[in-house]
Structure 1
Amino acid sequence: MILKKLLILLICALSPHLFSQDDKIYFEDALAQNLRKFNNQSDLAIRNKMPNEVDTIFNSFLNNYLKNTYVSDLRLKKVSGGYIQTDQINTPFLLITKNSAIIQADEEIETINAISDYYKGQVEIIVMFWDRQDIAKKSTRNYNKNVTVVYADERYNNSNRALSVYKHSFGVPTCFYVNKNKQIFDIDRKFFQRNSNPDSQKIFAERTHKGITELLVSHEDSAAQSITLDY
């Protein structure tokens, strides 16, 4: 009788794990299973002197394997001190990966600031530098208060698999568009302004606004509409 009671208690304790309905597929797992296929196809396209084909291969890879996968809770170190946890963000967010070795145009920072102001309260803008805190801090002085700047050096990166994939998957700079349910909506592997001329700035701004508008509309988080930018 005692053994029977113990067995019942054990089953009750384990039942959430044995009968879990959580069938979420996480970004880092989908990436680990399929990244080699993408890399092999991309390498083949480059060897065949078809570099433009890489974008087509990536779009197929994103839509077939990565889109709608879930982002694990990331605990990110803020340059200003403290942490931000992605599971505690109540809006969609952009996670923009950077490296201070790549010089950022002032106009690019201005555009990101303008976007963070425009979507304040609707979308969280997070810029993540893969550097030490002191180096990242020097690179982020011109971002405004509506941009959350975080950093992850290699020591922290190596001990955090869920975080490390955001650097080692597609390099930097890359922008991950994440919806309110913490699912990957889109990935922009070329999230940077090509040069400082006004046309380039406008193209960068319009592409980013388009991505955010689609992110918001896709989850019915906002009646966001396309806007005309004046620069």
Structure 2
Amino acid sequence: MKKLLVLGILSLYFSNSFAQEERQIPFSVAISAHIVKYNQKIDLAYQDKDLERAEFLFDSLVTNHLSGTYMDNFNVYPLKGDPILLRDYEKPIFLITYASWCVPGIGEIPALNDLADRFHDQIDFVVLFWDNKVKLKEKVKEYNSNIHLVHIDEKTNQDSYIINKLKHALGFPMMYFIDGNKKILDIRKIVTHHSSETLSNSYNIHFNSLSKGVSLLIADLDLNTETKNAESEEKENEDQRTDKERNIDEEYERYKQERDSINKKDN
């Protein structure tokens, strides 16, 4: 009986301790837990040609189960140089997953280029192609130098588990908005439109859509900066005296009080 009581107390203690810490759930774990049921429901929606229902299901999956999870660490491969780990990107990440055979809207890449020009000091813009190096080379001229172009060849990559989840679970092209700690703030589909759209209209459609992701990352960055500044101010305002200095100051305060008291009596 005593053993059971002790075990119960220990269990309660550790449960409370862990509950106080933020649970950092990996994206791969979260998507694995919910993707089967999601696919069943969304397949029915598409069979019924209910696009509104399909959109609702995607938004619910992201909002309720994927936002707030942490992107797994994995290698991406630039055209030149060594592989790069996702955690090596220090800024918030605007990640787009793509493939060379996907046909973007005529104004999509120009809009992304303009946003990268404006915000590359604050955000790492990363376009990840599910392709080999040869295919990636064909795309380089379309993007400006402020965008990190990387690729992963699924046949040769060393992170097959997370790559399988990223590429096949939600599909692509897809946008992932990831903060500096690699927490996923949101996941959005790339906006599509009819191929007959003019360059001007296509640019505006994509610029407005992509800007929402940029705004989300910047707002989160500003919030974190404000929080850090507030914590820094709080530390600065804390009593930073040593115990010896504090004792001396307290002794001096007592001396002043006694002196003032004597002066009042004399008067």
Bin for the TM-score computed over the shorter chain = 0.7 to 0.9
Aligned to 2:51, what secondary structure does the other structure show?
Answer: coil
Query: What's the Cα RMSD here?
Result: 2.3
- Between structures 1 and 2, the one with greater helix share: 2
**CA distance in 1: counterparts of 2:153 and 2:217, whole angstroms:** 29
**CA distance in 2: counterparts of 1:55 and 1:76, whole angstroms:** 30
> Does residue 110 in structure 1 map to residue 107 in structure 2?
no
Aligned to 1:155, what secondary structure does the other structure show?
Answer: coil
Q: TM-score, normalised by structure 2?
A: 0.70
The equivalent of 2:70 in structure 1 is 70
Aligned to 1:218, what secondary structure does the other structure show?
Answer: helix
CA contact (8 A) 2:107 2:204 kept: no
How far is 1:132 from its partner?
1.0
Q: TM-score, normalised by structure 1?
A: 0.80
Aligned to 2:172, what secondary structure does the other structure show?
Answer: coil
Deviations 1:136-190 (A, max 9, x none): 1112222111100001112134752123321112212111111122111111123
1:25-40 equivalences under 5 Å are 25-40=25-40
CA contact (8 A) 2:73 2:87 kept: yes
**One-letter identity of the residue aligned with 1:142:** E
| Gapped regions of structure 1 (runs ≥ 5) | 1-18, 224-231
The equivalent of 2:214 in structure 1 is 212
Number of residue equivalences = 204
Larger radius of gyration: 2
Q: Identity over aligned residues, as a percent?
A: 26
How far is 1:65 from its partner?
0.6
1:59-208 equivalences under 5 Å are 59-105=59-105, 107-157=107-157, 159-191=159-191, 195=195, 197=198, 198-208=200-210
> Does residue 24 in structure 1 map to residue 24 in structure 2?
yes
**CA distance in 1: counterparts of 2:39 and 2:82, whole angstroms:** 36
Moved more, 45-54 or 122-131: 45-54
Deviations 1:57-76 (A, max 9, x none): 11111111100100112221
CA shift in 2, pair 1:171/1:39, >3 Å: same
